[in-house]
Structure 1
Amino acid sequence: MPHVFEVGELTRAIKAVVESEFPFVWVRGQVVNLSRPGSGHLYFSLRDAEASLAVVWFRGAQGGRISAGGERYDPLTGEVYDRPLAESITDGMEIMVAGRLTVYAQRGVYQLVAEVVQEVGAGRLWLEFEALKKDLAAKGYFDAARKRPLPSHPVRVAVITAPAGAAVRDFIRLGRERGHGAAVRVYPTLVQGEAAPAGIVRAMLRAVADDWAEVLVLIRGGGSLEDLWAFNTLDVARAIFAAPVPVVTGVGHEVDMTIADMVADVRAATPSHAAQLLWPERGMLAQRVDDAELALRRIIGTLLASRERELAVLARGLAWLSPARRLDRLAESFDGVDKRLVRAGTGYLDGLSRRLADLEARVSRRFDARSLDAREDALTRRVERLTAAARMFVADRQQRLELAGAHLAGLDPAGPLTRGYSLTTVARTGKFLRRETDVRPGDKLEIMVYEGRVRAVVTDGGPDAGDKS
């Protein structure tokens, strides 16, 4: 036996099928039977030559969205408008509606719940926009890898825009107030209308041919999708893609997004924002200079302190290795030897004196006066001989000390210089000149005399000079 549906059951089944199969559709038709109840919702039908479709446009979906600047715009197309379409829609108007299909169970009819409503012209442009966007994306026009960074502080900027528009005035005003100075060339062109795409391309080609600008800037004030359509064309996209320098776009308002914005290396939200991206605030530049100055001072201070420490170490090493310092150390050593020698001689004589006194005492105890006198005479002679020997010993040590001093003085490299001698160094070898064969013609010599140094060049000499002098 076949299943018998309840009305509600069958309606729910149909609704499930319809809503799952058509979650979002675009429908084009003519408005008929428009109704505006007090709830603010709109009810009408879309009709063509073959059929009619019920549409409900709820109040919450009619107003679009509000941007940060307080402007009302279409969330799908980015179009900015002053008056919502819901207020101007009338019977007989041809429109496009995007939304979801559903079944109204109470009446048993299907209807379209509108999410986006546009006049047919705007809808056509949106479809063309989406088709071009898809094509260019497939060709790699939007790839992030091909996009170039902006130069830092550009000083030559080419601006492609309408010469009398508010956009270019705001751009130039901000350019004067920011950065550290730049030249701006305006390449005038139409930015709206049928002739605008070709004009924009020609202006860009002129800027590229001049080979002057570091960056190209395309700017235009806000408007509807139709107003900005010149920046959604294939020719403009190709010109931006082929530009040899980075391209910045500042077209419309923040909510506006064009094909040109997607192809450009950098997209600015507005023309003024484009200037802000190119040049930083001068206060920030001054702060960077101050930071750099402080960092440079710290680096210089650290470097100087390090060099001072290295210089002190080198100075101590040079002082220790210098000839004067070596002579001072030898003199100190000589003084020490002299003092030890004097102490040794004095100690030797004192020891002899003590031994003599001891012997005298022992002799006195053992011998009588006559024997003592005789021995005293002998002892006196021995003392005299011993004294003479001591004097000779001291004189010998004194003579050896004087010879050592003379020998030490002879080792002083500066000693012969006081007597008219000189020391000659060969610059090529860095060694002292001892033989004629140590030099050859053209060698540079440095002659050290008692007071100063003399530089000379050998004209004759060396092993090939023979007896020349």
Structure 2
Amino acid sequence: MGRAWLCFSAVNVYTLTPYRSGGANDEKNRPCGRVRAGIGGLRARNHPPRPAKRGRRRAPETGRYRGQGRPRPRRAMARHPAPARRSAHGRRQGQLRRGDQGRQHGHPAMPNGRAPGRGQRPRQALLSPLSHKCPGFPARGVLGYGAAMESDSPPSYRQGLPVYTVSRLNQEVRGLLEDRLGRVWVEGEIGNLSQPSSGHIYFTLKDARAQVRCALFRGARRACCAVADGLQVLVCARVSLYEGRGDFQLIVEQMEDAGEGALRRAFEALKRALAAEGLFDARHKKPLPASVRRIGVITSPDGAVWHDIVTTLRRRFPAIAVLLYPVPVQGRDAGTAIARMLDLANERRECDVLLLARGGGSLEDLWCFNEEIVARAIFRSQLPVVAGIGHETDTTIADWVADLRAPTPTAAAELLSPDQVLWRRRHAEARNRLQRLLERTLRERLQRFDDLKRRLIAQPVRGLPERRLTVAALARRLIMALPAYPARARARLLALSQRLERRSPTARLNAYRLRAVPLPGRLAAAIRAALRARESRLTRLNDRLRGHPPDRLWERLMVRHGLLKDRLLRAMREALKTRGERVALLDRALTLTGPPAVLNRGYAIVTDTHGRVVRAAHTCPPGTTLHVRLAAGELIVEVKAIQP
């Protein structure tokens, strides 16, 4: 297509630089400055900016407001052109009559140079350049969406270059792709498979160096094989462009299975190699501890898996401590990071068991758990490793090597944590058993005491001589120990006095008094600092509220509403057009393959007198009357003879 000018309606802030055809020293074709587009129109960057409001000083060159952390974008202001003078005919000066614009500019859409009339479609739309101190631009002009602008003569820098709207440009590119390439056969591996409820299938076809988006519509699925992530397929597709987003894509019409994908083959090869080495054997599996006190979780701290695991453990058994080992769970270096974190957790020995977790995804997303370095790190781990990777249908090499595999990360957390309701019930049962045991032991001891009491009352004399000898021996020991008792008592009293002096609270009270002296001043300073911070924040919030009034937000929302409305109308028209083409195609197929078309080609329908279709000659003996229906009319014939 070469070079072309593009006409568009800008909503956000963009930068536009005119095309430069000459060298760096070409003053005639030098860019006229950066132009900023906004909702209300355009204004040049070299135009003097509006004065800032009082109280909101802006730092030079950075665009940041003092007292604020993030830069605020400058709002593009519309520059309305001055009203043009009217001529004697009531027409503004510089405004051309209909049909004269093509003659004025040399309209490239029509052979006579005139502007297209009603019902005629021009091949391009004219775009008038801006007039803010730019060489070669007219004195006045407003940028319009797909409309010709006021200009006395076409500027020199875009003579011979067509002007396209965004939609027209996408249509042209789509036509070039579909006309030049047409249908092609492409071989690749399926990835990022998506099957919405509409029945269409969207996926990415890729190889080792590139990928392309593909769409398989519901009507073409009958001529295609089963679709799955990682499958190597051969597709017949039309090269096209999705005009809504400008995305290059393939419209698949036929698909054949070309074998397993590269990732799937690598997965199966590594699985067979590790299985041959014995990494999957049950004899290498380490048992889980009976009671887990701390769980080490190896996962990404930014994903929902970490939140689900913590929530499950808090719900089931809050007494278990959780230690996070943060790692990336997707990407080129994720496998090396996971293996390094497994080795680090085994060196520290801070937990009883390790939980390797990640959410669901495609084979490419989970590939870091299929790497050999991760499998060997799990195998040499001294701590038990539980794998909770993906959904129940996702299987990785790490699941096979781990000591225990859970279908999901939440299920893995449930396997490692006991149910606190069950533990409370067991505790209550053990407490009741202990209470019953103590009551039974106490009753037995009381019965024994009563028996001994009755025996002592019945036989009081037995054992008295032995008791007298014992009392005499104890008295002699007491008399011998009495002289040394005061000295030991004094020494013990002295030791207690010294110990009390060392632990006297007087020193600690003095230290607390010294620390409490500056506390009132520090408290007052902290209160003043907090008040100043609150006042500063209140001031910033007031400035932000004044800078973002609701009417501007309402304008942006109305513009967005209009864009969404246009998109809805275009989508409805495209859907109606597609349905109409489908009905016309079915009508043509019915016309070509229906019974009248078959009869027109020389065939006939033979029935008997009861209206039954005759399919074999031996069913009609000689003398049978038959009805022969032709494309035009019907014959009544009689069978004279039968030939095999």
Q: State the TM-score bracket (shorter-chain normalisation).
A: 0.3 to 0.5
TM-score (normalizing by structure 2): 0.34
Higher helix share: 1
TM-score (normalizing by structure 1): 0.46
Greater RCO, 1 or 2 (C-alpha within 8 Å, sep 6+)? 1
